[in-house]
C-alpha cells in the first residue's frame, strides 16, 4: 500500500516549522510495512507542479493531508489558510482517485466544518498514529498479498470522521525526518522540533491544547528523548526546540531530561515554551548547564486581576521569580502576551505594560485580541456577552476584544512600540528584527530570532535613549 503524506503549510513567519506530526505518522506507517512518500509544499514557488509530479509518479492508494493551523490567529491582520488548502485538495482530486484523509491540530478543532469545506473523504480527530492505521484497515480490507503489510485495525467501523485514541508516547517510533528533509528546514531557519510529552491539564480560557491532546499529561521517558536528540545531532541538527505546551511541567520530568542531556554531554542548545509557575532555581541551573539558549513564557498578561480572568495557574509573584531566575543565569527570555481578554480595561493594559517593562525581558511578543474556538471557556463567555451571531461559523476567524479597550488598544500599543524595539506586535505588523528573517538565518543567526532584539538603553533618571 502506498500512502502520500502532504504538508500544505507555507507559513514561514517568523520561521518555517518542520511538519513533525506527518513525520511521526510516516514512521508508524513504515513500521507496518507501508510505502510512504512525503510531499512538502512549504518552500516551492510552483507548489502545484511539485504536487502533481508526486501524484503522477507515486500513484498513491491513499492521500493524507495535515492541517496545522486554520489561520494565523492574529488580529487585526488575520490570514486564513484554508482557501489555499482547498486548492491543494482540488489538485489531488484532479490527478488521483485515492481517498483523501485530513488530520492535524487545526483539523481537530473544527473537524465537521473543515471536512465539509475541503470536500475531503475522511478525517481523523486528535492523534493519528493508530487511528490512521485503523482507517486504512477499514478502507483496504482482506488478507494481504504476498509481501504486503498487514494492518491490524482496532478502530470503529464506518463514518467519515474517526477519533484517534491517545497513544502511548513511549511506544511510538521516532519521527521519520527524511521524508520532509529536516536538514533543509534547518537551513531555512527552522529549529529541530522535539516533543517530550502530550496533554495539558490547565484551564486557560482560550486554549485549545486540551481539545487537541487531552488533559492527561503523557510523558516520554528521558532515554527515548535522548536517543531522538542524538539522531538529530548526527545530522548536524544541534539546536533543539522542545515543542511541548509546557516544557517545565511536570518539573521532575524536565529536570531529569536536562540532567540526562548533561550526563550524555550532548553538544546542543535548546529552547522551549515554559510556565512561570514551575520555574525553580534548581531547574534553572540544570537548564542552563544542559544548553538552554532561550525560554519563552506564555504570560498573556501581567495584571493580577487579568491572570485570574484568563484562567492562568500562576501568580504575578511567580512571573517575577521566573524573570529573576533567567536574569541571574543569563538565559534570554521572552514574554508572550494576549491583550484584550475578558475584563481588560485601559488600567489593566497599563499594569501589564509597566510590569513587563520592569522585569526587563529580552523580548516581548504581544498579540491583540484572542481567536475564539468552540469548546473553550472563551467561546462560552462570548456567547454570554452576545458577541457571537446565532449562526456563528467558527471556520472564519472571530476575535474577542474587550469592549472597554476595543477602540483604544491598537493606538496605545502603536505608541508604546515606538520606544520599545524589543517588543513585537504580529497582529499590528510591528517588529524590529534587524533584517529579513530568512536572510538572518542564512547569515548564521541561530535560535529564536527574538533573542537578537535589543531594548533601548536607559539614560540616567530612567528615560530611554
Residues facing residue 337 across a β-bridge = 300, 366
pLDDT lower than 50: segments of the chain: 143-158, 458-465
Q: Are 273 and 335 in contact (CB under 8 A)?
A: no
Torsion of CA 139, 140, 143, 148, to 10 degrees: -140
Cα→Cα distances 409→218, 347, 384, 415, 416, Å: 39, 11, 23, 10, 10
Q: Which of 368, 365, 445, 374 is nearest to 408 (CA)?
A: 368
Decide: 420 and 357 in contact? Cβ < 8 Å. yes
| Pairwise CA distance, residues 456 & 420, whole Å | 7
3-state helix, strand, coil in the chain (%, to 5): 40, 15, 45
pLDDT for 439: 74
Which residues of the chain are in CATH 3.40.50.280 domains?
2-164
Confidence (pLDDT) at 457? 56
Q: State the pLDDT at residue 13.
A: 82
Q: Which CATH superfamily is domain 191-413 in?
A: tm_1862 like domain (3.80.30.20)
Predicted local distance difference test score (pLDDT) of residue 15: 85
Under CATH, what is the fold of the domain 2-164?
Answer: Rossmann fold (3.40.50)
- The whole-number pLDDT of residue 465 equals 42
End-to-end CA distance of the chain: 64
- Model confidence, pTM: 0.92
pLDDT at 159: 58
pLDDT at 428: 95
- Return contacts of 310-315, CB within 8 angstroms, 24+ apart: 310/204, 310/205, 310/206, 310/338, 310/341, 310/342, 311/202, 311/203, 311/204, 311/205, 311/377, 312/204, 313/202, 313/203, 313/275, 313/277, 314/275, 314/276, 314/277, 315/277
Question: Residue 134: enclosing H or E segment and its boundaries?
Answer: helix 129-139
Contact of 427 with 74, CB cutoff 8 Å: yes
Residue ranges matching CATH 3.80.30.20 in the chain: 191-413
Amino acid at each position: 500500500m502506498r500512502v502520500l503524506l502532504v504538508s500544505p503549510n507555507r507559513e514561514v513567519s517568523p520561521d518555517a516549522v518542520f511538519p513533525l506530526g506527518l513525520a511521526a505518522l510516516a514512521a508508524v506507517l513504515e513500521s507496518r510495512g507501508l510505502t510512504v512518500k512525503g510531499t512538502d509544499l512549504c518552500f516551492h514557488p510552483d507548489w502545484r507542479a511539485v504536487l502533481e509530479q508526486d501524484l503522477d509518479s507515486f500513484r498513491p492508494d491513499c492521500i493524507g493531508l495535515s492541517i496545522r493551523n486554520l489561520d494565523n490567529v492574529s488580529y487585526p491582520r488575520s490570514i486564513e489558510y484554508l482557501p489555499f488548502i482547498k486548492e491543494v485538495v482540488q489538485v489531488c482530486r484532479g490527478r488521483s482517485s485515492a481517498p483523501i484523509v485530513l488530520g492535524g491540530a487545526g483539523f481537530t478543532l473544527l473537524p465537521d466544518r473543515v471536512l465539509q469545506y475541503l470536500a475531503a473523504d475522511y478525517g481523523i480527530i486528535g492523534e493519528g498514529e493508530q487511528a490512521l492505521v485503523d482507517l486504512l484497515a477499514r478502507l483496504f480490507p482482506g488478507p494481504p498479498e504476498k509481501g504486503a503489510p498487514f494492518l491490524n485495525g482496532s478502530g470503529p467501523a464506518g463514518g467519515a470522521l474517526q477519533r484517534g485514541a491517545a497513544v502511548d508516547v513511549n511506544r511510538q517510533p521516532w519521527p521519520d525526518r527524511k521524508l520532509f528533509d529536516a536538514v533543509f528546514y534547518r537551513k531555512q531557519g527552522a529549529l529541530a522540533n522535539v516533543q517530550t510529552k502530550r496533554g495539558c491539564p490547565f484551564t486557560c480560557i482560550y486554549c485549545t491544547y486540551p481539545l487537541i491532546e487531552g488533559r492527561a499529561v503523557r510523558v516520554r521517558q528521558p532515554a527515548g528523548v535522548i536517543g531522538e536528540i542524538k539522531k538529530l545531532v548526527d545530522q548536524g541538527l544541534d539546536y533543539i526546540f522542545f515543542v511541548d505546551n509546557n516544557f517545565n511541567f511536570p518539573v521532575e520530568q524536565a529536570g531529569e531530561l536536562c540532567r540526562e542531556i548533561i550526563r550524555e554531554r550532548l553538544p546542543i542548545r535548546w529552547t522551549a515554551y515554559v510556565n512561570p509557575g514551575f520555574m525553580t532555581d534548581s531547574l534553572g541551573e540544570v537548564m542552563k548547564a544542559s544548553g538552554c539558549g532561550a525560554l519563552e513564557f506564555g504570560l498573556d498578561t501581567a495584571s493580577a486581576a487579568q491572570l485570574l480572568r484568563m484562567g492562568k495557574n500562576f501568580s504575578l509573584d511567580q512571573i517575577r521569580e521566573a524573570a529573576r531566575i533567567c536574569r541571574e543565569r543569563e538565559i534570554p527570555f521572552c514574554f508572550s502576551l494576549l491583550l484584550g481578554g475578558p475584563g481588560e480595561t485601559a488600567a489593566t493594559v497599563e499594569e501589564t505594560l509597566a510590569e513587563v517593562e520592569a522585569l526587563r525581558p529580552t523580548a516581548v511578543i504581544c498579540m491583540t485580541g484572542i481567536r475564539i474556538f468552540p469548546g473553550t471557556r472563551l467561546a462560552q463567555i462570548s456567547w454570554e456577552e452576545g458577541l457571537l451571531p446565532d449562526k456563528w461559523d467558527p471556520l472564519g476567524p472571530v476575535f474577542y476584544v474587550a469592549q472597554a479597550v476595543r477602540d483604544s488598544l491598537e493606538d496605545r500599543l502603536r505608541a508604546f512600540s515606538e520606544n520599545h524595539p524589543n517588543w513585537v506586535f504580529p497582529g499590528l505588523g510591528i517588529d524590529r528584527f534587524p533584517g529579513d528573517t530568512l536572510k538572518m538565518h542564512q547569515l548564521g543567526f541561530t535560535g529564536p530570532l527574538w533573542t537578537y532584539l535589543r531594548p533601548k538603553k536607559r539614560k540616567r533618571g530612567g528615560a530611554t535613549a
